[in-house]
Amino acid sequence: MRPRNILFASVLCMLLCGPALIGLASWSGVALPSWLTADDAAYLSGGIVEADPAAYASLEGFSSGEFQIAAEDAVGNCIPMKAMALLANAALQRSAIEASNALFGWECYPAFYGSSIAEMPSRHRLLEIAEKATGDTLATASHIRDGLDALSLRHPEQRFFVYMGPDSMNIEGSPTAKLISNPLTYGELSSIFEDEDGHFQWIDGNVTFDEFADGWNSTDHHWNIQGAFRAYERMASALGFRDELLVPARLVTYDAPSFRGTFA
C-alpha cells in the first residue's frame, strides 16, 4: 500500500473514530480538556445542543426526520477540537469570499458562507445583515404597536413611553442593506409606532451609521458606553429631565481584556 493511501486511511479513521471516542469518554465520565471537546465551541455555535437520539428511535421519528436531527446533534457534540475546526473552516471560507470580492468591491461581505454576519474591513466591524421588510415583519410590528396602545389605554393614569434601539439590521445607511433587496429600515419601523392613537409616547432612537459606528461595539450588537449614554439622554429628555441630565465627568478606558460579547 502506498504511503499516500496509508495517510489518507489514517486520517479517515481519525475523522470517523474521533466522535465515537470523545462520546465514549464523555459517557464514561472521563474528564477531558475543554479544547479537545465541543465545550470551547459553545460560544461559536450558540451552546451545546441537548441531543437524545434514543428518544426518537422509532419509525415515526425516522420518517419525520427527528431521529436524524438528534443523531446529527449528538455527533456534533462529540467532534474533537470542534472550536478549532469551526474557526479554521470559517477562516478558509472567508479567504475565498475576500478573494472573490476583489472583483466586486463590496464594502462588506458575509463572514463565511451562509452567515448572517457581515465583515466590514474598512471599519474593523462585524454587522448583522439587514432584515427584509416583508409583510409578516411589518404586520408583527403593527401587532406590537396595537398591543402597547391597548395596554396604555387600559391604564390612563400611567404615562407610557416606547423606545426601540436601532441595530445593524435596520440602521439607516448600513452597507449590509445593499446586499439584499427591500431592506427593512429603522424609519419604517418608527413610522409604524408613530402611527398610533396617542396613548403612548414614542421616543425616536434613530441614528446615522457614523453615530452607530461610534456608539455600538464593533463585534457585538450592544451599546458601548457612549451609545448607552446617548440613549439615556433621549429617554431622560422625553421623561422631562431636560435640566437635570447627568453630565459625564471623565471616560476611563481599559486596554485589556479585548471585548467579546460572550464575556458579558
Nine-digit cell string for 83: 472550536
Q: For the chain, what are the domain ranges?
A: 3-82, 135-246
What percentage of the chain carries pLDDT values higher than 90? 41
Nine-digit cell string for 239: 421623561
pLDDT at 58: 86
Assess whether pLDDT exceeds 60 at residue 119: yes
Cβ 215 vs Cβ 226: under 8 Å = yes
Higher pLDDT, 16 or 150: 150
Higher pLDDT, 159 or 12: 159
Assess whether pLDDT exceeds 80 at residue 25: no
- Least confident range from 36-40, 201-205, 211-215: namely 36-40
Higher pLDDT, 134 or 6: 134
Assess whether pLDDT exceeds 90 at residue 79: no
Higher pLDDT, 198 or 161: 161
Task: Give the mean model confidence (pLDDT) for residues 142-161.
Answer: 92
Q: Which of 80, 100, 1, 96 is nearest to 35 (CA)?
A: 80
